Structure 1
Amino acid sequence: MSFVIRAARAKDLEPLYEMAKLTGGGFTNLPADRNALSGKLQRAENAFDNDADELADEQFVLVLENVENKAVRGTCQLMTQVGQQWPFYSYRMTTLTQHSQELDRTVRAELLSLVTDLEGCSEVGGLFLHPNERAGGLGLLLARSRYLFIAMHRKRFAERVLAELRGIIDERGGSPFWDGVAGRFFGMNFQEADYFNAINGNQFIADLMPKHPVYIAMLDDDAREVIGVPHPTGRAAMRMLENEGFAFEGYVDIFDGGPTMIAKTDQVKSVAEAAERQVSAVDLGEGERALLATGKLADFRCCYGARSIGEDGTIAIDAHSADILHVSPGDTVWSVVR
């Protein structure tokens, strides 16, 4: 089977809703709520229709589509500038060192401080692949298609980009981190808070969350052990982010304690190595495996294919990829090695 990444449309609401019901919670960017998802799709449509080549507060939604039967089997999102509609909160892990001359003892205490340091960054998120399609590198295609989209629309994105990974969720659908920290102040469980955040935003955090740092040593063992730890299903995603140049710099999600990965946008590997070339031929037999993409904004399409770069800087691609991307000799495509 062949797959293409394309811009999401209003008609994708039902397949996105069906996938959202499979996430298992803790997935704020893909809530199992039709109204919220419809709002995301409308916002994405507005972003795709905006041809102003400048940074603004926008959200793009992409979907993974089976070329043969047109079934939507995955999705991912790009937020161009977080923290514009409401504050973008994180906990930052810091260390406070204190020394007593009388006791001749130095004590180092780890703290969690509520911050908005990452406000203004771009964000890649909302990546979900249908459980039946988690093979053949489709997760990698979804993830890296976002970086090609950024490279192709570079002025629409900030100087730094972040990715939030879902934290540890227990077998009951609860969060040990939430129970040990914020849950004590809000009178609601993790699932209720997570759903409320997905639908209404996180202003309630600013309203009710204590502003003083939290001493990690005062948390229970269950909460401490999951700080900065990704959900088991997100470990591969964390490795992919690290391979792209993202790093964990001590920021964690305020709900589930999952790690926030950060990179300079121009230093993300797939952004830095992506290049636009004119297509010289669309009948390539054997070639280097690569991600291929074309089209601006709503016309964006991305797939796996074969490429061969000529001495003159042009690119030859295989016929199947050319058909998926709707390109012919003389058109241009962006590519990055797989």
Structure 2
Amino acid sequence: MLFVRPARLADLDAIAHMARTAQPVLHSLPHDRAALEARIALSEDSFRADVDFPGEEFYLFVLEDSATGRLVGTSSLIAAAGYSEPFYAFRNDALIHASRELHVNRKIHALTMSHELTGKSRLAGFYIDPALRGDAAAHLMSRARMMYVAMNRRRFTPEVFSLLLGVTDDAGASPFWEAVGRKFFGRDFKDIEMASGGRSRTFIAEVMPAYPLYVPLLPEAAQRVLGEPDPRALLAYEIHLEEGFEPDRYVDIFDAGPVLTAQVDRTASVAGNATRVVRESASANAEVSETYLVASQQGGEFRCVLATLPVQEASTYAPHAPHAPLALVADAPLDAATRAALNVQDGARVRCAPLYRETPDNDNSMGEAQ
């Protein structure tokens, strides 16, 4: 069984291997072993800390196969992006150029350097072992982070964002970088990707253009990829949409990849989150009809799995007072392997959210998952 938990220093070798081999590059995981060890230690400290508001905390998660103990994925949460240095992105703007005398009034698409995302919580560092089959593991690895946010609201801001990989060719070259970044840095995209360490280095502001870039002046190849995810990022893009993220007015300053944002209260993992009581079950219930993200925080350690549970309302109405809601805690029948992965016993309380959003009956334009 696959389950998500916080990373530990004992995981250093496995995480270092993922950091070296991950494509696209994981900016939240440095290749230098000493720096990576410090990053894992920061994550351990962040999970243990008593936090009243988001700051410099960094949370690193891993996906473990309980049968083998092997780590097959990783992802991270940054409590406040650009906490020590601004987080930069290009903002899509529309500039008006007008002349009454010439009867000209044109709205021109422009990109403006911005650090308005600074201070907001960010999802980062998503990686899944390519050998894993199916999309379930990717959904679990990505969305477990929002389950942690749902259970620890004080640690994060009301709005979260995620930056996805922009379009690159088979050689790793970015059309947008070739049209913009190379003109200012004079170096290859991959070199700057490694040096950037998460788009929050002061050299970005020192070297990149301070004035708006007029999009019509860019080569057509660069214009086409603005806000487009790379094919390798399409699964992550769809998972974010399922969670409730939406494309915003920002794009990445290096490869013009999309920036997705969401109000935490409106995300699927928060809006659909409910407490259930664990009940022992020898096997999966044949009558269950929905897959849930199930999370626990027993002993302070977060765990998250996918499990099939009965579709049951979390609240109903008392017959003697139809207008007064009576909260009922639903059961979560879990087999032994799932209880072990969550580190819970019969009677413990877990947090559950449907893996997929419900589609309204009158909306036939889309399937269960986006």
| 2:228–2:258 Cα contact (<8 Å) kept | yes
Q: Given residue 167 of structure 2, which amino acid in structure 1 is its aligned partner?
A: I
| Deviation at residue 279 of structure 1 after TM alignment | 2.6
| 1:24–1:173 Cα contact (<8 Å) kept | no
Aligned equivalent of 1:129 = 128
Q: Given residue 316 of structure 1, which amino acid in structure 2 is its aligned partner?
A: A
Q: 125-134 or 100-109, which moves further after superposition?
A: 100-109
Please list, as runs of the form range in 1=range in 2, the aligned pairs for 1:122-161 lying within 5 A after superposition: 122-161=121-160
The TM-score normalised by the length of structure 2 is 0.85
Aligned-partner SS, 1:131 = coil
Aligned-partner SS, 1:145 = helix
In 1, the alpha carbon distance for the partners of 2:95 and 2:145 equals: 38
Q: 1:326 aligns with which of 343, 353, 359?
A: 343
| Deviation at residue 74 of structure 1 after TM alignment | 0.2
Q: Given residue 148 of structure 2, which amino acid in structure 1 is its aligned partner?
A: F
Q: Given residue 65 of structure 2, which amino acid in structure 1 is its aligned partner?
A: N
Q: Given residue 256 of structure 1, which amino acid in structure 2 is its aligned partner?
A: D
In 2, the alpha carbon distance for the partners of 1:197 and 1:4 equals: 31
Q: Given residue 37 of structure 2, which amino acid in structure 1 is its aligned partner?
A: S
Aligned-partner SS, 2:131 = helix
Aligned equivalent of 2:303 = 301
Query: Stretches of 4+ moved more than 6 A in 1?
Result: none
1:43 aligns with 2:42: yes
Unaligned runs of 5+ in 1: none
Offset from partner CA, 1:261-300 (integer Å, 9 cap, x none): 0111111111111122333444464134211110168611
Aligned equivalent of 1:316 = 332
In 2, the alpha carbon distance for the partners of 1:199 and 1:53 equals: 25
Aligned equivalent of 2:294 = 292
Please list, as runs of the form range in 1=range in 2, the aligned pairs for 1:190-205 lying within 5 A after superposition: 190-198=189-197, 201-205=200-204
Q: Given residue 315 of structure 1, which amino acid in structure 2 is its aligned partner?
A: D
| 2:75–2:126 Cα contact (<8 Å) kept | yes
| Deviation at residue 196 of structure 1 after TM alignment | 0.8
In 1, the alpha carbon distance for the partners of 2:243 and 2:135 equals: 19
Aligned-partner SS, 2:86 = coil
In 2, the alpha carbon distance for the partners of 1:246 and 1:82 equals: 17
Aligned equivalent of 1:107 = 106
Identity %: 31
In 1, the alpha carbon distance for the partners of 2:110 and 2:47 equals: 41
In 2, the alpha carbon distance for the partners of 1:252 and 1:79 equals: 19
Q: Given residue 148 of structure 1, which amino acid in structure 2 is its aligned partner?
A: M
| 2:88–2:200 Cα contact (<8 Å) kept | no
| Deviation at residue 171 of structure 1 after TM alignment | 1.8
Seen in structure 2, the aligned counterparts of structure 1 residues 128 and 215 have a Cα distance that, compared at 3 Å, is same
In 2, the alpha carbon distance for the partners of 1:54 and 1:297 equals: 22
Aligned-partner SS, 1:304 = strand
Aligned equivalent of 1:337 = 354
Aligned equivalent of 1:67 = 66
| Deviation at residue 307 of structure 1 after TM alignment | 2.4
In 2, the alpha carbon distance for the partners of 1:238 and 1:225 equals: 18
Aligned equivalent of 2:56 = 57
In 2, the alpha carbon distance for the partners of 1:112 and 1:99 equals: 19
| 2:75–2:142 Cα contact (<8 Å) kept | yes
In 1, the alpha carbon distance for the partners of 2:280 and 2:70 equals: 29
Aligned-partner SS, 2:125 = strand
Unaligned runs of 5+ in 2: 317-327, 356-370
Q: Given residue 158 of structure 1, which amino acid in structure 2 is its aligned partner?
A: T
In 2, the alpha carbon distance for the partners of 1:247 and 1:201 equals: 22
Offset from partner CA, 1:87-136 (integer Å, 9 cap, x none): 01010011112233333232221111000111111011111001001425
Aligned residues: 337
| 2:51–2:154 Cα contact (<8 Å) kept | no
| 2:163–2:257 Cα contact (<8 Å) kept | yes
Aligned equivalent of 2:10 = 11
In 2, the alpha carbon distance for the partners of 1:32 and 1:131 equals: 19
In 1, the alpha carbon distance for the partners of 2:188 and 2:233 equals: 22
1:267 aligns with 2:266: yes
Seen in structure 2, the aligned counterparts of structure 1 residues 24 and 291 have a Cα distance that, compared at 3 Å, is closer
| 1:26–1:166 Cα contact (<8 Å) kept | no
Seen in structure 2, the aligned counterparts of structure 1 residues 296 and 176 have a Cα distance that, compared at 3 Å, is farther
Aligned-partner SS, 2:340 = helix
Q: 185-194 or 258-267, which moves further after superposition?
A: 185-194
Q: 227-236 or 191-200, which moves further after superposition?
A: 191-200
Q: 152-161 or 195-204, which moves further after superposition?
A: 195-204
Aligned equivalent of 2:236 = 237
Seen in structure 2, the aligned counterparts of structure 1 residues 323 and 296 have a Cα distance that, compared at 3 Å, is closer
Offset from partner CA, 1:33-63 (integer Å, 9 cap, x none): 3233222211101101212343222110000
In 2, the alpha carbon distance for the partners of 1:234 and 1:199 equals: 17
Seen in structure 2, the aligned counterparts of structure 1 residues 31 and 172 have a Cα distance that, compared at 3 Å, is farther
Q: Given residue 330 of structure 2, which amino acid in structure 1 is its aligned partner?
A: T
